Structures are given as structure tokens and as C-alpha cells.
Amino acid sequence: MTLEQAIAAALQKDPRLQTFSFRLRAADARVAQAALPPALEVSLDLENVAGTGETSGFDDAEATFALSQVIELGDKRESRIGLGQAGRDAMTIDRAAAQLDVLADVARRFITVAQRQQQLQLSREAVELAQQTVVASERRVNAAKSPHAELDRARIALDRALLDERGAGIELDTARSQLAATWGETEPVINGERIGDVAADLFALPPPGDFPELAARLAGNPDLLRFASEARLRDAELRLAAGQRRPNLTVGVGLRHLEATNDQAFVLSASMPLFSARRASSLVAEAEANRELVDSEERVARIRAQAMLYELHQQITQATLVARTLKDDIQPRSAEALKETEYAYARGRYSYIELVDAQREYLSVRESLIEAAATAHTLRAEIERLTNAPLTAATP
């Protein structure tokens, strides 16, 4: 399985992303609702009925049937539409950020699977070394060159290596299950098939990248783009609040029937609330404060993102240096030292302790290499998440 296949499955089935289709549909509905004008109102009034004396019946009744309409002033309808659209745009940015979170999560778990694969391979190599040591010890014991206790210690080391191999296999299976969970599976399967080895070269280490170039990419981070979207949302709220300073005008027209004279007459009405500007001032003040808050939070977020990027760049530079040094210099020398020690032990020139020390040193170097390489790739995934752009076309 490749990283591309894992990403495709997660983007298609991750529950966190599936919710956005419903949320965007709801946002579209809110925009459509905001575009509607105030509803036309119909009213029926009956006067001078069910009273006393001459008004005890319906002889002096007056019935008025009227239609009224609120005329919005101050661009309130346009402000509502803008507010709804800004909210939808913000949700689109949130979806992009969620997609980046999913991609980073998949990359981290994919790297963990690749790391566990290498650790399982290393544990198998440790078993082979332990088996070879048992064979060599048997020869020395049979030749009366070593005590039988040395063979017992070699067999104990083999048993422990076998246990470590089993544990490494369990950890690999667990890592595969955690990877499959990103596309909603409870078992380590993809597209109905069980996950095997992932196609990943853990030791192919791309360069850390140039920090100024990486810093320039921060502008494309959805977490920072969200502030621009949030600013548009707050601007829309401010326009809507400012529009409340101009009161709406309610006009009506109707027909009145006078039962006593059997006459009809038109009724016209107009109304407007007073002191709207004063009542709206607090809403405007709140909207202005919220708008300024967005700018302040954006400055803080940019500083934090810059500092985080610098820290990650320092860490990946160090991890890459460690991994390359282990791979190119230390590992070959430890392998050569182990080979020479095995040769000397087989001929009785080195002791069992010296052989075991050489094996442990070799295995420790290999374990450190795997850890450093996995750390470098994980840091690379974090930088890609932060900058919203891949460092290189290479994948682990």
C-alpha cells in the first residue's frame, strides 16, 4: 500500500470530512434564507363588537382587513446576505484545514507503520544473529573451548530475541489498525483487503528545506487564512449592526367596513420605531470590538506559527543529520566491527562477551537509525501541515 492510496481512502471516508457536506448545505440554506425579504403580513381587526348598549351586537361593528409590509432601510438585507456568505466562506476554510489535519494524521500513521516494519525486520535480524551465536557457541562448547554456561546464555538471548520479534509483529499490526482507522475501519484493511507492507523507503531522507522559503508558505496555511475569512465575517456583522441605526419602515393598506352605514373605506398606515440609532450603538460597539479582536488574534497566531516553524525546521535539520550520519558512517563501521568480531569469536580469539557487545552495538545503531529517520519524516509531515505545501515530491 502506498501513501497516496492511504490518503485517497482517508479523504473519501474520514468521518471528520464527511460532516462538512452537511454543514455547507446548511450554510447555503442560511444564505438563501437571509436573501428573503420580510414576510407580508395580513391582519383582520374587529371593533365595536360584544360590548354594551348599542355595541352589544354587530350593528355598529367596524371590520378592517389590511396588508402590511416592512421596508428594510440601511441595506439590512444585503448585510444579512453578506454575513451568511462570509459564514459559508469561513466553513470552506475550516474544511481545508480539516483536510490538512487528515493528511497530516495519515502521514504520521503511515510513517509509524513504515517504522514498525523496519523494527520488525531488525528484530528478525536480531534473531538470526542470536541463532548464529548459538551455533558458534555449540561448536566452542563441543570443542571444549568454552563452558556450557556460555551456550545457555546464548540460548537465553535467542529466546529473548524471539519474544522481541513477536512483540514487534504485534506493534506493526497495531500501527496498521491505527492507520486504517483514519478511513473508518476497525480492522487493518483497505478496500476490503488486509493491509500488508507499506511501500515506503524510510531511509530516503529529503533535504530539510530552506527556512525563508518555508516561512513564505505560511501565508497559505488555512489556520491563518481562517483569520481573513473571520475578518470578512466580522465586517459583515459590523455592517449589519450599523444598518440597525436606520429604522425599518412598516407600511400598510387595508379596507374597512362600517356595519352601521354599510360603507367601506380604505385604511393607510405607516410606522417607524424611534431612537433606533441609540439602541444600535451598543451593537456597533460590540461588532467593532470583535473585528479588532480578529486582527489581534491573527498577529498572535502568525507569531506562534513562525516560531513553531523555526523550531520544527531546527529539529528536522538535526534529525536528518543524525539519520544520515548513522546511515552513511556509523552503521557501516558497526557492521564491519560485528563481522570481524564474529570471525574472531569463531576462531577463539574473542570472548562471548565481546561478541554480544558487538551485536548489541550494531543493533543499537540500527535502532537509532530507524528512530532518527522516522522522526525526520514525521517532522517533515508537520512542516507540510504548517506550510500547506510539500517540501519535495518524495514520500517516505
For cell 532518527, what's the residue? 372
Q: How far apart are CA 130 and CA 154, in angstroms?
A: 7
**Per-residue b/e over 193-229, b at no fewer than 16 CB within 10 Å?**
eebeebebebbebbebbeeeebeebbeebbbbbbbeb
Q: What percent of the chain has pLDDT over 90?
A: 38
Residues 191-210 have a mean pLDDT of 87
- Which architecture characterizes domain 3-387 according to CATH? Up-down Bundle (1.20)
| pLDDT over 80 at 340, yes or no | yes
The residues, ordered by sequence, that sit 6+ positions from 215 with a Cβ below 8 Å of its Cβ are 306, 309
Res 243: pLDDT: 83
Q: What percent of the chain has pLDDT over 70?
A: 96
CB-based contact 228:395 (threshold 8 Å): no
CB-based contact 71:250 (threshold 8 Å): yes
Q: In 3-state terms, the chain is what percent helix, strand and coil (to 5)?
A: 70, 10, 20
Q: Is 306 helix (H, G, I), strand (E, B) or coil?
A: helix
| pLDDT tens digits along 99-126 | 888 998 999 999 999 999 999 999 999 9
Q: Indicate the pLDDT class of residue 311, thresholds 50, 70 and 90.
A: very high
Total Cβ atoms within 10 A of residue 137: 25
The CA-based angle 323-328-334, given to 5 degrees, is: 95
Q: How far apart are CA 328 and CA 365, in angstroms?
A: 12
H or E stretch including 222? helix 222-243
CB-based contact 150:137 (threshold 8 Å): yes
Q: How far apart are CA 163 and CA 171, in angstroms?
A: 12
Residues 206-233 have a mean pLDDT of 86
Res 331: pLDDT: 95
Angle between helices 352-387 and 276-325 (to 10 degrees): 150
CB-based contact 337:362 (threshold 8 Å): yes
| pLDDT over 50 at 392, yes or no | no
CA 75 to chain CA mean position, Å: 38
Q: Indicate the pLDDT class of residue 155, thresholds 50, 70 and 90.
A: very high
The pLDDT mean for the chain works out to 88
| pLDDT over 90 at 195, yes or no | no
Res 187: pLDDT: 87
Res 77: pLDDT: 84
Output DSSP code: residue 388. Answer: T
The residues, ordered by sequence, that sit 6+ positions from 364 with a Cβ below 8 Å of its Cβ are none
| pLDDT over 60 at 347, yes or no | yes
The grid coordinates of residue 201 equal 523507503
pTM given for the model: 0.80
- The more confident residue out of 235 and 113 is 113
Q: Indicate the pLDDT class of residue 391, thresholds 50, 70 and 90.
A: very low
Q: How far apart are CA 237 and CA 226, in angstroms?
A: 16
Total Cβ atoms within 10 A of residue 180: 23
Q: What phi and psi, each to the nearest 5 degrees, are found at residue 243? A: -65, -20
Res 390: pLDDT: 66
The single-letter code of the amino acid at 341 is: T
